[in-house]
A = this chain, B = another copy of it.
Amino acid sequence: MQSQYSPKVPKIAVLRLALYAKNLDFLERQGLEIISSLRLAELCGVNPAQIRKDLAYFGQFGVRGRGYYVKSLLQELHTILGINRRWTLGLVGAGNLGRALLHHAQFAREGFVFSVIFDKDPAKVGTQVGGLLIRHINTLGQWIGNEGSFDIAMLATGTQAAQTCTGLLIKYGIRAILNFTPVKLQVPEGVYVEDVDMTLRLNLLCYRVITGSEHSLNG
Protein backbone atom coordinates (compact mmCIF):
# COMPACT_ATOMS: atom_id res chain seq x y z
CA MET A 1 0.00 0.00 0.00
CA GLN A 2 1.37 3.34 -1.17
CA SER A 3 0.62 5.20 2.03
CA GLN A 4 3.28 3.26 3.87
CA TYR A 5 6.00 4.71 1.66
CA SER A 6 4.69 8.18 0.92
CA PRO A 7 2.93 9.81 3.86
CA LYS A 8 1.51 12.32 1.44
CA VAL A 9 -2.07 11.10 1.44
CA PRO A 10 -4.18 14.16 2.31
CA LYS A 11 -6.10 13.76 5.52
CA ILE A 12 -9.55 14.31 4.10
CA ALA A 13 -8.80 12.09 1.12
CA VAL A 14 -9.11 9.00 3.29
CA LEU A 15 -12.48 10.13 4.57
CA ARG A 16 -13.56 10.59 0.98
CA LEU A 17 -12.45 7.05 0.12
CA ALA A 18 -14.92 5.88 2.75
CA LEU A 19 -17.54 8.08 1.12
CA TYR A 20 -16.81 6.55 -2.28
CA ALA A 21 -17.06 3.09 -0.77
CA LYS A 22 -20.45 3.90 0.71
CA ASN A 23 -21.77 5.04 -2.65
CA LEU A 24 -20.21 2.14 -4.55
CA ASP A 25 -21.87 -0.22 -2.14
CA PHE A 26 -25.16 1.41 -2.99
CA LEU A 27 -24.44 1.06 -6.72
CA GLU A 28 -23.41 -2.55 -6.36
CA ARG A 29 -26.70 -3.36 -4.66
CA GLN A 30 -28.43 -1.83 -7.66
CA GLY A 31 -26.52 -4.23 -9.88
CA LEU A 32 -24.39 -1.62 -11.63
CA GLU A 33 -21.20 -3.10 -13.04
CA ILE A 34 -19.14 -0.13 -14.10
CA ILE A 35 -19.09 3.59 -13.36
CA SER A 36 -17.06 6.59 -14.47
CA SER A 37 -15.37 9.02 -12.12
CA LEU A 38 -17.74 11.62 -13.52
CA ARG A 39 -20.91 9.84 -12.42
CA LEU A 40 -19.50 8.69 -9.11
CA ALA A 41 -18.42 12.27 -8.45
CA GLU A 42 -21.97 13.52 -9.02
CA LEU A 43 -23.27 10.92 -6.59
CA CYS A 44 -20.73 11.84 -3.92
CA GLY A 45 -20.90 15.56 -4.49
CA VAL A 46 -17.22 15.97 -5.33
CA ASN A 47 -15.02 16.76 -8.34
CA PRO A 48 -14.27 13.83 -10.70
CA ALA A 49 -10.57 14.71 -10.84
CA GLN A 50 -10.52 14.49 -7.09
CA ILE A 51 -11.79 10.93 -7.12
CA ARG A 52 -9.11 9.91 -9.62
CA LYS A 53 -6.47 11.73 -7.59
CA ASP A 54 -7.55 10.17 -4.32
CA LEU A 55 -7.44 6.71 -5.87
CA ALA A 56 -4.06 7.41 -7.48
CA TYR A 57 -2.47 7.62 -4.03
CA PHE A 58 -3.07 3.91 -3.71
CA GLY A 59 -2.78 2.51 -7.20
CA GLN A 60 -4.53 2.17 -10.54
CA PHE A 61 -8.00 0.74 -10.27
CA GLY A 62 -9.77 1.90 -13.42
CA VAL A 63 -9.92 1.01 -17.10
CA ARG A 64 -9.15 3.86 -19.48
CA GLY A 65 -12.02 4.60 -21.81
CA ARG A 66 -14.38 2.57 -19.62
CA GLY A 67 -14.40 3.58 -15.98
CA TYR A 68 -14.21 1.60 -12.75
CA TYR A 69 -15.67 -1.82 -12.15
CA VAL A 70 -17.93 -1.21 -9.17
CA LYS A 71 -17.38 -4.54 -7.48
CA SER A 72 -13.61 -4.64 -7.78
CA LEU A 73 -13.12 -0.98 -6.84
CA LEU A 74 -15.29 -1.49 -3.79
CA GLN A 75 -13.14 -4.43 -2.74
CA GLU A 76 -9.97 -2.41 -3.27
CA LEU A 77 -11.34 0.42 -1.13
CA HIS A 78 -12.29 -2.01 1.59
CA THR A 79 -8.75 -3.32 1.58
CA ILE A 80 -7.25 0.17 1.66
CA LEU A 81 -9.50 1.27 4.51
CA GLY A 82 -8.91 -1.97 6.37
CA ILE A 83 -12.59 -2.86 6.49
CA ASN A 84 -12.26 -6.07 4.49
CA ARG A 85 -12.46 -7.90 7.78
CA ARG A 86 -14.49 -8.05 10.97
CA TRP A 87 -13.76 -5.52 13.72
CA THR A 88 -14.97 -6.05 17.25
CA LEU A 89 -16.27 -3.17 19.32
CA GLY A 90 -16.30 -2.56 23.04
CA LEU A 91 -18.93 -0.18 24.33
CA VAL A 92 -17.86 1.94 27.27
CA GLY A 93 -20.85 3.68 28.84
CA ALA A 94 -24.28 2.10 28.58
CA GLY A 95 -26.36 5.25 28.78
CA ASN A 96 -28.87 6.38 26.19
CA LEU A 97 -26.29 7.10 23.53
CA GLY A 98 -24.33 3.93 24.23
CA ARG A 99 -27.39 1.73 23.94
CA ALA A 100 -28.37 3.49 20.72
CA LEU A 101 -24.94 2.78 19.27
CA LEU A 102 -25.33 -0.83 20.30
CA HIS A 103 -28.49 -1.15 18.24
CA HIS A 104 -27.23 0.91 15.33
CA ALA A 105 -27.79 -1.47 12.42
CA GLN A 106 -25.34 0.31 10.15
CA PHE A 107 -22.37 -0.88 12.20
CA ALA A 108 -23.24 -4.57 12.02
CA ARG A 109 -23.94 -4.22 8.31
CA GLU A 110 -20.33 -3.15 7.76
CA GLY A 111 -18.78 -5.85 9.88
CA PHE A 112 -18.45 -3.94 13.15
CA VAL A 113 -19.71 -6.18 15.94
CA PHE A 114 -20.01 -5.38 19.64
CA SER A 115 -18.45 -8.01 21.82
CA VAL A 116 -18.65 -6.42 25.26
CA ILE A 117 -20.26 -3.58 27.21
CA PHE A 118 -18.91 -1.73 30.22
CA ASP A 119 -20.48 0.68 32.65
CA LYS A 120 -19.66 1.87 36.14
CA ASP A 121 -23.23 1.93 37.46
CA PRO A 122 -23.76 -1.11 39.74
CA ALA A 123 -27.46 -1.00 38.92
CA LYS A 124 -26.70 -1.62 35.26
CA VAL A 125 -23.89 -4.12 35.70
CA GLY A 126 -25.18 -7.65 35.24
CA THR A 127 -28.19 -6.66 33.15
CA GLN A 128 -28.38 -7.40 29.44
CA VAL A 129 -28.58 -5.08 26.47
CA GLY A 130 -28.73 -6.33 22.92
CA GLY A 131 -27.85 -9.84 24.04
CA LEU A 132 -24.72 -8.74 25.89
CA LEU A 133 -24.10 -8.58 29.62
CA ILE A 134 -23.05 -5.20 30.99
CA ARG A 135 -19.78 -5.61 32.89
CA HIS A 136 -18.21 -3.28 35.41
CA ILE A 137 -15.59 -0.98 33.94
CA ASN A 138 -13.12 -2.14 36.57
CA THR A 139 -13.20 -5.64 35.08
CA LEU A 140 -11.89 -4.32 31.77
CA GLY A 141 -8.46 -5.80 32.38
CA GLN A 142 -9.83 -9.23 33.27
CA TRP A 143 -12.02 -9.29 30.21
CA ILE A 144 -9.26 -8.38 27.81
CA GLY A 145 -6.83 -10.71 29.53
CA ASN A 146 -9.02 -13.80 29.74
CA GLU A 147 -12.11 -13.97 27.65
CA GLY A 148 -10.95 -11.89 24.71
CA SER A 149 -10.29 -8.35 23.65
CA PHE A 150 -11.86 -5.97 21.17
CA ASP A 151 -10.43 -3.77 18.46
CA ILE A 152 -12.21 -0.46 18.91
CA ALA A 153 -13.68 1.23 21.95
CA MET A 154 -16.85 3.27 21.57
CA LEU A 155 -16.60 5.84 24.32
CA ALA A 156 -20.05 7.06 25.35
CA THR A 157 -19.59 7.83 29.03
CA GLY A 158 -20.36 11.05 30.81
CA THR A 159 -17.89 13.90 30.58
CA GLN A 160 -16.46 13.15 34.02
CA ALA A 161 -15.53 9.55 33.35
CA ALA A 162 -14.20 10.02 29.81
CA GLN A 163 -10.49 10.55 30.51
CA THR A 164 -10.36 7.96 33.30
CA CYS A 165 -11.93 5.30 31.10
CA THR A 166 -9.57 6.23 28.29
CA GLY A 167 -6.64 5.66 30.61
CA LEU A 168 -7.99 2.23 31.50
CA LEU A 169 -8.56 1.32 27.86
CA ILE A 170 -5.02 2.29 26.94
CA LYS A 171 -3.58 0.51 29.95
CA TYR A 172 -5.09 -2.73 28.71
CA GLY A 173 -3.91 -2.30 25.15
CA ILE A 174 -6.78 -0.68 23.26
CA ARG A 175 -5.42 1.50 20.45
CA ALA A 176 -8.57 2.85 18.77
CA ILE A 177 -11.31 4.97 20.30
CA LEU A 178 -14.39 6.46 18.70
CA ASN A 179 -15.10 9.26 21.13
CA PHE A 180 -18.67 10.49 21.56
CA THR A 181 -17.91 12.62 24.60
CA PRO A 182 -17.08 16.31 24.21
CA VAL A 183 -13.76 15.78 25.98
CA LYS A 184 -10.43 16.16 24.19
CA LEU A 185 -8.85 12.88 25.21
CA GLN A 186 -5.18 12.80 26.12
CA VAL A 187 -3.58 9.74 24.55
CA PRO A 188 0.00 8.65 23.86
CA GLU A 189 1.34 8.18 20.36
CA GLY A 190 0.09 5.05 18.69
CA VAL A 191 -3.41 5.40 20.12
CA TYR A 192 -6.00 6.68 17.69
CA VAL A 193 -9.02 8.77 18.59
CA GLU A 194 -11.80 10.00 16.34
CA ASP A 195 -14.13 12.55 17.83
CA VAL A 196 -17.80 12.59 16.95
CA ASP A 197 -18.90 15.87 18.44
CA MET A 198 -22.54 16.38 17.57
CA THR A 199 -22.76 19.70 19.37
CA LEU A 200 -19.89 21.15 17.36
CA ARG A 201 -21.70 20.18 14.18
CA LEU A 202 -24.92 21.63 15.50
CA ASN A 203 -23.10 24.91 16.17
CA LEU A 204 -21.78 24.95 12.61
CA LEU A 205 -25.28 24.35 11.33
CA CYS A 206 -26.56 27.36 13.30
CA TYR A 207 -23.82 29.53 11.84
CA ARG A 208 -24.67 28.42 8.33
CA VAL A 209 -28.35 29.14 8.82
CA ILE A 210 -27.93 32.63 10.21
CA THR A 211 -25.25 33.66 7.71
CA GLY A 212 -26.75 31.85 4.74
CA SER A 213 -23.33 30.49 3.87
CA GLU A 214 -22.79 27.30 1.95
CA HIS A 215 -20.01 26.00 4.18
CA SER A 216 -20.17 22.26 4.28
CA LEU A 217 -18.13 19.41 5.63
CA ASN A 218 -17.81 15.69 5.03
CA GLY A 219 -18.34 13.15 7.76
Task: Please list the residues of chain A having a beta carbon within 8 angstroms of any beta carbon in chain B.
Answer: 1, 3-4, 7, 9, 11-12, 14-15, 17-19, 21-23, 43-45, 80-83, 87, 95-97, 99-104, 106-107, 110, 112, 151-152, 175-176, 178, 182, 184, 190, 192-213, 215-219
Contacts and interface: CB of A to CB of B under 8 A. Distances in A.
Given A1-B211, A44-B184, A175-B209, A112 B80 contact: no
Nearest to A10: B215
A196 B201 CA distance: 8
B209 A192 contact: yes
Residue among A203, A204, A218 with the most chain B CB within 10 A? A203
Would you call the interface of chain A mostly helix, strand, loop, or mixed? helix
A196 B198 contact: yes
B176 A209 contact: yes
B199 A110 contact: yes
A19 B107 contact: no
Contacts of A95: 103
Given A100-B100, A205-B192, A199 B106 contact: yes
Contacts of A213: 3, 7, 9
B205 A152 contact: yes
Given A15-B204, A22-B182, A199 B107 contact: yes
B195 A219 contact: yes
Contacts of A80: 207
Nearest to A45: B184
A81 B202 CA distance: 10
Contacts of A23: 184
A65 to B, nearest CB: 28
8 closest residue pairs by CB, A with B: A100-B100, A18-B203, A82-B210, A96-B103, A96-B100, A82-B206, A192-B208, A97-B100
